[in-house]
Amino acid sequence: MTFSQFFTIVRARWTSGFLVLAVIVACAVAVSLLLPKQYTSTASVLIDVKLPDLGGNTAAAGGIVPLGFMATQLDVVRSERVALRALRSPGLKLNESVELREQWQAATGGQGDFEAWLAALIQKKLDILPARESNVITLAYSSPDPKFSAAVANAFMQAYIDTTLDLKVEPAKQYNAFFDERSKQTREALEQAQAKLSAYQQQKGIVATDERLDVENTRLSELTTQMVVLQGLAVESRGRQDEATGNNDRMQEVLANPVVGALTADLSRQQAKLNELNERLGDNHPQVVELRANIDELRKRVQAQTSRVAGSLNANNNVNQVRLAQLNAEIQQQRSKLLQLKGQRDEAAVLLRDVENAQRAYDAVLTRVNQTSMESQNTQTNVSVLKQATAPAFPSSPRLLLNVAVALVMGTLLGIGLMLARELLDRRMRTVDDVVTGLRQPLLVTLPRASRSAGGGSRLKLTKRASSVASPALPDHETRTDHRSPAARRLGRAGGRRQPHVVRRRGHRGRERPARPLHRRDHPRRQAPERRADRQDPRLPAQARPALRRGRGGAQAGDQRRRAVGVVAAVPLPLCA
């Protein structure tokens, strides 16, 4: 459908479309005037995600909004707990209304809970509007009374704030009771561990385990050092003793002994004197004999002194061996003592660790007790009031101008739809395109708009396609008729009995109107032979003549009739306005 066809249809059937538009607009105006006025009051709150942590934990104060946080807050606002709290608020007290209770009795017959029914009834007119890119939630309530709307919106807002605070305080109270009981248990465990450690220290005589162990380790180190030194001395003394047993006169101690040295020197002088006297006096001289006796005495004395020095070496070796054995025994004893102290220290360390663990557990529980105690007494919440609800001055619905505008749009669309539907049900040939595309036949002639000139006549106007095959123009009083049925003319198919109909012509206002149908006496079948001779008019196109002959039935005749443009008859019709 082209725009010109659409415009022609609208111009021809504008009355039905205008009637639909008027009815819809009138209904919209009537409904807007008859509906009761509704007043909407709004309140806004801001939810701060950075909730202050009373326990000093900075990790809970992050700036990132948790996933689903705002959705959870919306569910809290819509919850029955908030609704019941709002109904019981001092500003409303709807649960005490006798009229509402009677309505509940009439609606439910006394079945169910009255406050739950009332909460559901109030929530039907409550709208929760979350912001798209912020943490702001708007609560809107509509009712015929503006003051009541403001009171309900403020009551729901305050109930939501109190509920969020309760949801934080109630778990804190439960945690506080739990940690308080737990602190008593940890304190008892700490006291038991401390008592066990003290009893063990008293039993073992341990005062400071680390200091005493250091002293014992130092003593063991000293004994070990002394034993090493004594072992060296013992080895040396034993070597000298062995040397004294074999050749003691050459020992260093013997040679270094002054008594032995003096006796040896005296013995050497006496020996030299003996040799001299023996050469002068002979062996039997009394001086020689006396001198020999002195020499023997000196030798005995040297031997005795040497034996005495060697004996002192043996005694020194024996002393070193005894001291070495004693020192070894002391070291073994010190080692045993040190091992015992280490065992005691390990046991004491275990008990001490038990005490430390119990102390840490008690400190942690005590910290949580203090934290939960502060949280249970908290009166601050992360919800702040941005806007208090006030009684609106103007109603929010019905909106007369908006309803009329919507009615105009809907009425226009429905009116156009109705006009198009009527056109589809009752198709008319209104333009040249309708004839060409609808009938699928070439258009022979169009009747121009009637002229108001003095001549009063108007000539026919042939189309380009028809003029190429048509005869010269007919007289002014002739017009062309179509013997097909209306359905065949609309659909472009031949069928049924041929009935003479005149092609529509245009009036003086540009509208197409049907010409007067031919009378039965004017039908070509009832015309006289001299009038039927007009069918042999040479001015007719050759392809139109077979359609005027009788006795050419069948498919061939039907095809020829469908191809024919129409039957031309000389019918005098006035073309003037």
- The pLDDT of residue 503 is 42
Span 397-422, pLDDT tens digits:
888 889 899 999 999 999 999 988 98
What pLDDT is recorded for position 376?
82
Where does residue 440 fall: left (phi above 0), alpha (psi -120 to 50 degrees), or beta otherwise? left
- Quick one: pLDDT at residue 377? 83
Q: What share of the chain is helix, strand, coil (3-state, %, to 5)?
A: 65, 10, 30
CA separation, residue 198 to residues 8, 201, 369 (Å): 114, 5, 29
The Cα 519–Cα 385 span in angstroms is: 89
In DSSP terms, 474 is beta-bridged to none
Tens of pLDDT, residues 265-291: 777 777 777 777 777 776 777 777 777
Which domains, ranges and CATH numbers included, belong to the chain?
Answer: 1-35+398-426 (no CATH), 40-177+380-396 (3.30.1890), 428-569 (no CATH)
* Residue 395: closest CA among 39, 34, 31: 39
Question: Alpha carbon of 234 to those of 51, 79, 228, 229, 313: distances in Å?
Answer: 83, 99, 10, 9, 11
CA–CA dist 146, 531 (Å, integer): 89
Q: Rounded CA gap, 11 and 431, in Å?
A: 13
Cα dihedral 551/553/556/561 (nearest 10) = 90
Peptide bond into 398 cis (omega under 30): yes
From first CA to last CA, the distance across the chain in angstroms is: 31
Residues 350-387: tens digit of each pLDDT: 888 899 999 999 999 999 888 888 888 888 888 889 99
- Helix H, strand E, coil C: the string for 36-93 is CCEEEEEEEEEECCCCCCCCCCHHHHCCCCCCCHHHHHHHHHCCHHHHHHHHCCCCCC
- Of all residues in the chain, the percent with pLDDT exceeding 90 is 16
Low-confidence ranges of the chain (pLDDT < 70): 1, 50-67, 207-214, 236-261, 282, 303, 306-315, 448-577
Residues in the chain: 577
pLDDT confidence of residue 504: 44
In this prediction, residue 427 carries a pLDDT of 79
φ, ψ of residue 482 to 5 degrees: the values are: -125, 120
